[in-house]
Structure 1
């Protein structure tokens, strides 16, 4: 009887996975002659296509590999030579192993991404335990501060912004194309998730936005970790919102209010209609900020 139940459950899970695969849609947006942005149920992907081949920034979850490769194949038949991970979360790095095995792709990321993926990880806010990634999924080329990829006629600069979304965030700057992929240091039009369990902080995210705004100009196309393609105006609004939130919550903490008391005050009420419509709702965002800023 137990074996029959196990078989039925396994079949149901397999059926659900197949149905999920069929319903997933990957959008494709051409940003210039060489760079495309893919959107789907996870982190945004940048695709660079040219005479040197193909490389991508982030690769969604593992079970989206087929859909992602189908979207890339509509742009070019070439295999992916390099995969850059902006950070370690599975919606940005889950496809690593499949790209490494099936397309012989080389994985690149910050030093801390390899370190984190090599061990089991817990995100307390979601009670989410992720096992260590298999060896083939790990980045094989890592860097500490900055690294440049000279590819498809562009200088693609990876640089680390410390303790922002995580402790291993990379921002990817296509210098000649004037395009920047910010990973999850930028959630367009919504509150960000700050992975405090893995070194993230609101001050670090504000700093990441300031760093990009110093480099970018009005013509720069900015790929957020989540949301549609953005510009410096969008990023400035996001940065200003975070500064306001940080000041507001810090002031309440200095009044020795408890988390429950802060949530009851609803200090983000004026921001929620615009910024609180993503998966990160105000109460959880306040909880993360309370833990982050209280530690200071």
Structure 2
């Protein structure tokens, strides 16, 4: 079995198969696994954190990072098990979480996601907040099993509940709870690296984001191991602190907007100032999180 490895994830890369922050350094990427319980792991690499369940019923994953990392991901999995990956559940449609879909599907893996994930992947999108256009995904990368609100998988001695959380990070987010192992995968409804990305172009909203985190908290207890979309492993206390910060920001921006202040005036007022030192130095900067909140109130 693979030795338990503790690792952290740096600056996230986003929303296309091209790495916009670390172009040209793919050779430096390592895909490492951390054992959470017997048969359940988290894989860290470049992009969204991967959940991995291994057992008598087979192997299934949550997300698959970038396509160029598929061989490295498969190599890391092979250190845990010789079995192929039977299912992948996508937490949402961004390229750093679904970029490996086509590569795994060619090997027989079945891709599962919310209805809106298939729709977004099929049509592509102009992502104004990042100044980029995402082209439609190839047919072979699309989820072939989709769901509306909730899905359950009874595999490897666990009951895995997949919940759609509406208009949060996007309009197709899913959070996944392993009931018996008490492990919660939040996808990108939890950034454990600072301010979150609320993808307004994809239907994301601050209120939906807060509701998604509160859904995760309702599933968790003090012993729950929480896999964030980006960053190191977390727990209920840290997730509670994260949503408290987001609520405070939301209310501060709302109070200024209710006074009739323009976005430019709100940005000048710096409502996020007390959180910026700790949370505003990674992917999403202070002006961006304030803009996302202002736009979606």
Q: Does 1:113 align with 2:117?
A: yes
| CA distances 1:233-287 after superposition (whole Å, capped 9, x unpaired) | 0110011001100000001111111222211121111111112122100011112
Q: Distance in 1 between matches of 2:195 and 2:33?
A: 24
| CA distances 1:144-202 after superposition (whole Å, capped 9, x unpaired) | 01111111111111111111111101111111000010100011141100011111111
Q: Secondary structure at the match of 2:273?
A: coil
The number of equivalent residue pairs is 277
Partner of 2:184: 180
Q: Distance in 2 between matches of 1:287 and 1:216?
A: 30
| CA distances 1:9-37 after superposition (whole Å, capped 9, x unpaired) | xxxx9xxx996332111221110111110
Equivalent of 2:253, from 238, 245, 249?
249
Q: Distance in 2 between matches of 1:116 and 1:47?
A: 25
Q: Distance in 1 between matches of 2:24 and 2:129?
A: 28
Q: Does 1:99 align with 2:104?
A: yes
Q: CA RMSD in A?
A: 1.5
Gaps of 5+ in 2: 1-17
The residue correspondences of 1:149-188 to structure 2 (distance < 5 A) are: 149-188=153-192
The Cα of 1:214 is off from its aligned counterpart by 1.4
The residue correspondences of 1:82-231 to structure 2 (distance < 5 A) are: 82-101=87-106, 103-231=107-235
- Kindly indicate which of the two structures has a greater share of residues assigned to helix: 1
Q: Does 1:34 align with 2:44?
A: no
Partner of 2:272: 268
Greater gyration radius: 1
Equivalent of 1:80, from 72, 77, 85?
85
| CA distances 1:92-116 after superposition (whole Å, capped 9, x unpaired) | 0010000000x21000001111111
The Cα of 1:69 is off from its aligned counterpart by 1.2
**Greater RCO, 1 or 2 (C-alpha within 8 Å, sep 6+):** 2
Partner of 1:8: none
